[in-house]
A and B are shown apart, each in its own frame.
Chain A
Amino acid sequence: MSLTALICDDSVLARKQVKKSLPEGFAAEILTASNGLEALDILSSQEVGVVFLDLTMPELDGIGVLEAIKARQLKCVVIVISADIQPEMQKRVAELGALAFIQKPVNSDKLAHIMHQYGLI
């Protein structure tokens, strides 16, 4: 599968955790961004299949990224990975077109289950 994945989180640890939790050989390339603006830069310059997106970030937060993806009609799918799991937030994220919502701390079982559910693996 020649899919490109993007992990967007302001925490180095969180990015590493997601990267390590991804099923092996799932993506051809894994890119990272430490805030929303960086993520949008990458999304506008190359094709990305799936974005793993944190919500609370400096510069531009996850909601901002989702809004921009929707406005620009980008084709990537988004899986939100957040510590902030209040139902209102989950609802908002779903309305903005996110595929799924995963509560931190992320682990490979959780991630594999969700990705399997949505046919990503």
Chain B
Amino acid sequence: MTMLTPDQQDALQELMNVSMGLASDQLARFLDTLVHLQVPAMQVVRASDMPAQLRELYADKEAHLISQGFIGPAGMQGEAMLLYNFSSAKQLAAILGYQQSEVSDAEMLTDISSILTTTFLNSLAAQLGSTLSYSAPRQLNCQNNQLVERLQALASRWNVALQVNIQYQVTDYAFQCDMILLIPGTALQTLQQQLDDILQDY
């Protein structure tokens, strides 16, 4: 199913690459360490198809799911989810310079996720000539293979899923996570309009 024209798809992928570049630059400065983020693959799918696709990716793995709402002008709104499959959030937190006694695991994970989500989406929104506000991030319990159930519940509220695989590298430690932006059909239309405007400009 194609929801974006090839030109729109190309433009969005390019804007996302640039946003990740800007986000990793900001993160690197803030953390005073080498952070490298890349978006090798981005796809737009029907929200209802998303859980099954991710089920494969996260089968037999301990998954961490953090969700954060966002809202902008012209009906641009949705839910940004970050999905990790690494079992040790502590390791990442240590690399990022968090003192373990200082915060709980849940707080570390929501904090890191919120930073990643908001810096990335802020950069993306800025390139689209817009701004976004965010709700507080929350960690969703997905133990005991509840992941797909969780994703289905979330997906049922929205029409479209922008699935973004992120390659994340902090100093010598590399891992991947998936960012899924769930948006309503009206927000997709807004996004398409913004992309068309940009394409028209050049």
Contacts and interface: CB of A to CB of B under 8 A. Distances in A.
B21 A82 contact: yes
A104 B14 CA distance: 10
Contacts of B20: 83
A104 B10 contact: no
A86 B10 contact: no
Contacts of A56: 17, 38
A13 B21 contact: no
B21 A103 contact: yes
30 contacts: A11-B10, A11-B11, A11-B13, A11-B14, A13-B10, A13-B11, A13-B14, A13-B198, A13-B199, A13-B202, A17-B202, A19-B202, A20-B201, A20-B202, A56-B17, A56-B38, A83-B20, A83-B21, A84-B21, A84-B36, A84-B38, A85-B21, A85-B24, A86-B24, A86-B34, A86-B36, A87-B34, A103-B22, A104-B21, A105-B127
Interface SS, B side: helix
B64 to A, nearest CB: 26
Contacts of A88: 34
Contacts of B199: 13, 16
B3 interface: no
A103 B24 CA distance: 12
A82 B24 CA distance: 13
Interface in A98-117: 103-105
Interface residues of A, number: 19
A13 B10 CA distance: 7
A56 B21 CA distance: 12
Contacts of B13: 11
A88 B29 CA distance: 15
Contacts of B62: none
A12 interface: yes
Interface string B1-23: 00000010011011101101110
The 9 A-B pairs with the shortest beta carbon distances in the complex, nearest first, are A83-B21, A16-B202, A11-B14, A13-B11, A104-B18, A83-B17, A83-B18, A13-B14, A12-B10
Contacts of A87: 34
B25 interface: yes
A14 interface: yes
A56 B95 CA distance: 26
Contacts of B21: 82-85, 103-104
Interface string A3-15: 0000000011110
